Chains A and B, each alone.
Chain A
Amino acid sequence: EAAVTQSPRNKVAVTGGKVTLSCNQTNNHNNMYWYRQDTGHGLRLIHYSYGAGSTEKGDIPDGYKASRPSQENFSLILELATPSQTSVYFCASGDDNSDYTFGSGTRLLVI
């Protein structure tokens, strides 16, 4: 069954440390997305990608980098994690005008 898998499910990181969140999709979709969701907000777009080798800035890219080494994998990188980046992160994949599939989320706590 086609799916979007995120790892890790939960992560505790120290301030100033490097954090990498991984996402793998078996949908063969071209587009992949990283969102964060905080209490009182909807999902906010951080970075997205149209295909292997491409990354684009979303609405709130500051403090984050992204990497799309292959069709299946899309990573979100926090080079210097800060407590304000404590959140739930969702990865999604999709194609033009199709339904988008979301992962189950990664819960990140930066202390």
Chain B
Amino acid sequence: DAKTTQPDSMESTEGETVHLPCSHATISGNEYIYWYRQVPLQGPEYVTHGLQQNTTNSMAFLAIASDRKSSTLILTHVSLRDAAVYHCILSRGYQNFYFGKGTSLTVIP
């Protein structure tokens, strides 16, 4: 019951900006868009989340399409530490997250 679609893998070079896409065509009006990232042997780490407006924090910029059917996580000046699996998830708050396989980001030195 995958609610989001992401590419399996992406690649970037250190110092570049990378755009990680996520499609969620069946999103409901009260569902938030969350992004988490996970490195091997660790639990997922919160990156950002949003409902309708674009959001930004120290980790990333989240661009949400006006119809909310897609979003893009933008990482600027990527470093080797940004190499991880990035999960795009929909949540209605108290309900659970559904984690798919995510996008594996490789960062080349």
Contacts and interface: CB of A to CB of B under 8 A. Distances in A.
Contact of A42 (B45, B93, B101): B101
Interface in B9-51: 32, 34, 36, 41-46, 49
Interface of B: 32, 34, 36, 41-46, 49, 87, 91, 93-94, 96-102
Interface residues of A, number: 24
A14 B13 CA distance: 46
B96 A48 contact: yes
For the complex of A and B, the 6 pairs showing the least CB-CB separation, nearest first, are: A102-B43, A96-B93, A42-B99, A43-B99, A99-B46, A42-B100
A31 interface: yes
Interface in A19-73: 31, 33, 35, 40-45, 48, 50, 58
A92 interface: yes
Given A50-B94, A104-B42, 16 more contacts: A41-B101, A42-B100, A43-B44, A43-B99, A45-B96, A90-B43, A90-B44, A97-B32, A99-B46, A100-B34, A100-B97, A101-B46, A102-B45, A103-B43, A104-B43, A105-B42
A57 to B, nearest CB: 11
A90 B99 CA distance: 12
Interface of A: 4, 31, 33, 35, 40-45, 48, 50, 58, 90, 92, 96-97, 99-105
Main secondary structure of the interface of B (DSSP, over half): loop
Contacts of B96: 33, 45, 48, 58
B101 A105 contact: no
Contacts of B94: 31, 50, 96
A43 B45 CA distance: 13
